[in-house]
Chains A and B, each alone.
Chain A
Amino acid sequence: MSIVHIYYGTESGNAEMVADDVAEVLQGQGLQTVIVEMADIDIADLADIERAVFITSTYGEGDLPETTAPFHDQLVEQRPDLSGLSFGAFGLGDSVYETYNNGIDTLRSTLVELGARQLGETAKHDAASGEPATDLAQEWATTLLGVSA
């Protein structure tokens, strides 16, 4: 069985917590998971990955957070062929900002542009809701791979 790679990019660490939540759910479904911070991804390896989950927050005025930005820059520069990749997308943001969840939208469009296929809907957690990101992460992850079946 293939491994599901869970990649997170974060500013204050909340996306890292969501990565743990998603991993827990997928492991509960009998899947193997590997959690990697986006800053540590080797772009050359990405073309061989079949299933992944990308989790990122949005920083400031719609920008990518500290550890998503360098990864995204490399994707844009190196343009790897990602046609073998299926991925889930989870964003963290705050609807008080007009640029609510821009971060995951930016990343998602670049991945699709490079040939990757998105699984299910993009999950968007809204910090303004007051609901814990954990709840949405668990609910979303439960059906994520069912969508691809």
Chain B
Amino acid sequence: MTVSPPTEDLFPWNDEAFRADPHPWYDRARQIAPVHRTGDGTFVVLGHGDTMHAARLPVMSIVEPGWAESHPWQIFNSTVLSLDPPLHTRMRRLTNRWLSPKSAAKWSATTSELTAAFLDALEPGQVVDAHFDIGVSPTHITMCRMLDMPEGDVERIFWALWDAMLINATAPGHEIAATSQAGLDYLFAETEQHLRAKQAEPGVGLADDLLAAHARGELTWREVLETTVILYMSGGPNPAYLIGSAIKLFAERPDIMQVYRDEPASRENIVNEVARLNPVELIITRFPTEDIDIHGVAVPAGSCVKFPIGAANRDPAVFSAPHEFDHTRSPDESRNLTFGLGVHSCAGQMLARAEVDAVLTEVAKRYSGIELVSSPTEVRTDRLVAFEHMPVRLLP
């Protein structure tokens, strides 16, 4: 197979319209070829099957090659975000027990309690921010309980992470490094302060497990700190986007909200379909350590390969009517990449799925419908999306 001629306009990563809805671009690019090479030598893979196969190959490293410029996100170089096996395995195993399906079910009860307490305190007709009040807040606090750390300034933590992650855009611009660094500085300072307090007065959480491993000489301070920051900062934002997306869906499709309420067996499929259509992290990036072949295209070692999650999740070769919500898809037609894949698949995905279900169940069982008071607002780069506000009225 021949590679399409190098071209930039197929993937205008910084274009506002592309960021707002990249799917028309992905659909057009897919019609031309399943794998593209852009002008800067980056390869872009659009197919679900190609992504499922190639992104998880052991030679597909998450470690940036030597040619990559230094950037603030390298502050996480001691974590699962920046390591390949076997170093990755060692770090990932620190959290496995806490994030297992069984543990997730247990901790999602906390999410249910927090959501129920919030909803039960509302005045009739009161406008709530479905993004922050029932998305970010209960899930962030659940993670804090698991860590056994104070919840801190939840809104500030949310935006500090958003700022920090701006640097991961394909072409973030020079001024972004300082914004990103400031967000990271805040997250690290807050977390380190909590960890130091826990050293003086240990608790019973995941963070205490990490501190105990440090005390035994099994983890460096840096490893404890970086891993705790990741958990502390990401416990809210990622499930919150799925919760917000589901609430928006419930407002637009009262029939789906009714199914959620009346047919508990459908809930897992509904959450999964919301996840398929609304990935939070938008691109998986890998660097092959050997020359490889993706769908007949030769990809040299050290190249940057991008797998847009939204493109794979809406590949018409796998998903019929790919842009449509349909929770009745078969298992073959429901496997999506929103939580990544392979060794780097999201460690917290069982918790996130359970938390989303916990919040939606509390909402669906109390209310007959949801009204969007105004259009939800989002913030986006080509790599990441979050809601900014989603004012809604919950209807009795």
Contacts and interface: CB of A to CB of B under 8 A. Distances in A.
Interface of A: 10-14, 16-17, 20, 59-61, 66, 96-97, 128-131
B334 A16 contact: no
Given A60-B85, A66-B93, A130-B334, A13 B58 contact: no
B128 interface: no
A128 B334 CA distance: 11
B58 to A, nearest CB: 6
A147 to B, nearest CB: 27
Nearest to B88: A60
Contacts of B58: 60-61
A13 B106 CA distance: 13
Contacts of B99: 12-13
A17 B335 CA distance: 20
Of A13, A97, A131, the most chain B CB neighbours within 10 A belong to A13
A13 B100 contact: yes
A60 B101 contact: no
Nearest to B341: A96
8 contacts: A12-B99, A12-B347, A12-B350, A13-B99, A59-B89, A61-B58, A66-B93, A96-B53
A10 B97 CA distance: 9
A contacts with B: majority SS: loop
Contact of B331 (A11, A12, A16, A130): A130
B331 A129 contact: yes
B251 interface: no
A131 B100 contact: no
Contact of B101 (A17, A59, A131): A17
B102 interface: yes
Nearest to A128: B335
Of A10, A12, A66, the most chain B CB neighbours within 10 A belong to A12
A129 B330 CA distance: 10
Contacts of A10: 96, 100
A16 B332 CA distance: 24
B350 A13 contact: yes
Contacts of B289: none
Contacts, number: 48
Nearest to B52: A96
A12 B96 contact: yes
Nearest to A11: B96
Given A10-B96, A96-B56, 9 more contacts: A11-B96, A12-B99, A13-B103, A14-B101, A20-B102, A59-B89, A60-B343, A130-B330, A130-B335
Interface in B98-152: 99-103
B101 A66 contact: no
B102 to A, nearest CB: 6
Contacts of A131: 331
Contact of B96 (A13, A96, A97, A129): A13
A120 B89 CA distance: 33
B102 A17 contact: yes
Contacts of A13: 96-97, 99-103, 350
Contacts of B330: 130
Contacts of B103: 13
Given A96-B53, A130-B334, A16 B93 contact: no
Contacts of A14: 100-101
Contacts of B335: 128, 130
Contacts of B85: 60
Given A14-B101, A17-B102, A130-B335, A60 B56 contact: no
Given A13-B101, A16-B101, A60 B89 contact: yes
Contacts of B56: 96-97
A11 B58 CA distance: 18
A16 B102 contact: yes
Interface in B268-288: none
A14 B331 CA distance: 18
Nearest to A135: B331
A83 B350 CA distance: 39
A6 to B, nearest CB: 14
A22 to B, nearest CB: 14
A125 B97 CA distance: 21
A23 to B, nearest CB: 13
B350 to A, nearest CB: 7
Of B52, B331, B334, the most chain A CB neighbours within 10 A belong to B331
Of B56, B89, B347, the most chain A CB neighbours within 10 A belong to B89
B62 to A, nearest CB: 14
Nearest to A37: B97
The 7 A-B residue pairs with the shortest CB-CB distance, nearest first, are A13-B100, A130-B331, A130-B335, A13-B101, A17-B101, A131-B331, A66-B93
